[in-house]
């Protein structure tokens, strides 16, 4: 099995503008539903958490596919230390399942969660502009770190 090249997104990465800031392109996107998980708000944050739940629970989102190893590393860094990456099989609109990665909120951070579903439309309306600026700053800092760590040949 090769490197993963697809990821299920359920929060801020559902905004094409955020994905474009981070990856400088629009990867192939397919609507999907992930069962057995729930999305929750995080205290004092504008982004959500995904946590395992009962089998009847589900979260709507998107599968971003055709990602390069470099793009997966950028997403890993972007999702930071509060999440771990695992493989899941969301259902696409045609009923088929696809194996992909997802970022799940770590168990030792769950005390920060509020048992309320995160609202994508509210995020877009109230926080997208400032979140895009933060995402751009993250990418610039990350790229500067990579450049600083790369020896000049």
**CA-to-CA distance for 139 and 31, rounded, in angstroms?**
26
Considering 17, 77, 79, 140, which one is annotated as catalytic? 79
Q: What are phi and psi of 104, to 5 degrees?
A: -110, 140
**CA-to-CA distance for 138 and 7, rounded, in angstroms?**
20
79 belongs to the catalytic site: yes
* Structure token digits, residue 141: 């800092």
Instruction: Give catalytic residues, as residue numbers.
Output: 79
């Amino acid at each position: 099995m090769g490197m993963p090249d697809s990821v299920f997104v359920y929060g801020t990465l559902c905004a094409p503008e955020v994905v474009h800031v981070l990856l400088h392109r629009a990867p192939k996107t397919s609507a999907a539903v992930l069962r057995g998980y729930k999305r929750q708000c995080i205290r004092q944050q504008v982004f959500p958490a995904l946590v395992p739940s009962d089998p009847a629970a589900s979260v709507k989102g998107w599968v971003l596919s055709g990602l390069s190893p470099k793009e997966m590393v950028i997403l890993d860094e972007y999702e930071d230390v509060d999440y771990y990456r695992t493989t899941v099989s969301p259902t696409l609109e045609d009923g088929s399942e696809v194996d992909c990665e997802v970022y799940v909120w770590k168990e030792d951070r769950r005390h920060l969660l509020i048992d309320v579903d995160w609202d994508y439309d509210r995020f877009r309306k109230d926080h997208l502009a400032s979140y895009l600026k933060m995402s751009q700053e993250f990418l610039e800092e990350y790229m500067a770190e990579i450049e600083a760590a790369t020896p000049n040949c």
